[in-house]
Structure 1
Amino acid sequence: MIGAILEPGNCLDLAEESSPALLRVAYDGLHEMYEEIGAPLPENEEGFKGDGDLIKRHLDCAVVNFLHEFREAQEQKSPFDTVRAPFIEGRPLFPGSKLMDKCHVQWCVRNPQKSIIAYLRPRDPEATEV
């Protein structure tokens, strides 16, 4: 595990209210492109038998990447430097709960030169000097 100090910059924050609309438009564009070439869209898949969270997110990744490429091609839209996404996964913590046991937030740094301010390298546990 390493740590980093990030400057999100222009962040596609999937927890913000405006982000779903961007992704819906991107999905529509990606879907249309795949239809034009006669290819099936990528699909999210199970990472293991019984994986209800579909952790192999090929479709989700393709949609987000399409959004980035579309914005860059337009040139009047700034590309995103980072993406922040909450993932609500796993099983309910208790009966009737929407709180799950595997919730986490992931960051994707698309512009490391701008967004990674510093990184932290863990100390070697075998080292004798501090």
Structure 2
Amino acid sequence: MYNTKPSFIYGFHGIDKDVAFEILNQKTEFKLSSNKYDWLGNGTYFWENNYPRAKQYAIEDSKRKDSKIKEPFVLGALIDLGNCLDLLDQQYLDFIKMAFNDLKDTLVIEGKELPKNSGFGKNDFDFKKRELDCAVIRWAHELAKNEGVFFDTVRAAFWEGEELYPNAGFKSQNHIQIAVLNPNCIKGIFLPRDKVEFPTS
């Protein structure tokens, strides 16, 4: 009854500049990520209302050995959340917990182990390799489909990075992320602008 979200949000996607202009010129589409460690399962990932974090990510990614980002860039998108599996909403948190228990019981019957969340390296304390979370989200989608429900997007908050100050509850890279499964929810794509000073006199 109360779970309707604002229709549209701004999403920002860190990407290679050449690929960004191919998308803008409708020569290609956003890629759907399907890694088994993706935090929110399959989807095209956007930083909600957070251009600086998307830019920061693109720069960080470009420094990795096998990165596809040669020139860091950011595309903006106008996104309709549609039917959103929103992990900032209690009913969906309860659903994900139920999905986890169902997945665990199923794997026990099949004699298989649950995937685990872990870091990519010794100094990764944020568990960015989220194989358990990805498996649970994917399982939740399957459970929903069995009931005739299809989610267009997934939305969640992440506490990431170093503490802003000693014993802080806030971290340097906190953000909200959106995974878009239904490409029709991307209503428009744009080049983000730098702020223009508005004349006051």
Classify the TM-score, shorter chain. Answer: 0.7 to 0.9
CA-to-partner distance for each residue in 1:42-80, whole Å, 9 max, x for gaps?
Answer: 1111112121211010110110110011110122xx211
Aligned to 2:195: none
Paired residue total: 120
1:120 aligns with 2:190: yes
Q: Which of 36, 39, 44 is 2:109 aligned to?
A: 36
- In the alignment, residue 119 of structure 1 is paired with which amino acid? I
Structure 1: distance between partners of 2:162 and 2:99: 30
Aligned to 2:171: 100
Stretch deviating more after TM superposition (98-107 or 14-23): 14-23
- In the alignment, residue 189 of structure 2 is paired with which amino acid? Y
SS in 2 for 1:30: helix
- In the alignment, residue 27 of structure 1 is paired with which amino acid? F
Q: Which of 155, 160, 176 is 1:89 aligned to?
A: 160
% identical aligned pairs: 37
Higher relative contact order (CA 8 A, sep 6+): 1
SS in 2 for 1:47: coil
1:3 aligns with 2:76: yes
Aligned to 1:128: none
Aligned to 2:92: 19
Structure 2: distance between partners of 1:50 and 1:34: 31
Aligned to 2:123: 50
CA RMSD of aligned residues (A): 1.6
1:109 aligns with 2:173: no
- Structure 2: runs of 5+ lacking an equivalent: 1-73, 193-201
Q: How does 1:52-71 map to 2 (within 5 A)?
A: 52-71=125-144
SS in 2 for 1:86: strand
Provide the TM-score with structure 2 as the length reference.
0.56
How far did residue 32 of structure 1 move?
Answer: 1.1
Structure 2: distance between partners of 1:105 and 1:47: 21
How far did residue 96 of structure 1 move?
Answer: 2.4
Runs of 4+ in 1 over 2 A off after TM superposition: none
Structure 2: distance between partners of 1:118 and 1:43: 36
SS in 2 for 1:106: strand
Provide the TM-score with structure 1 as the length reference.
0.85
SS in 2 for 1:62: helix
Structure 2: distance between partners of 1:44 and 1:5: 31
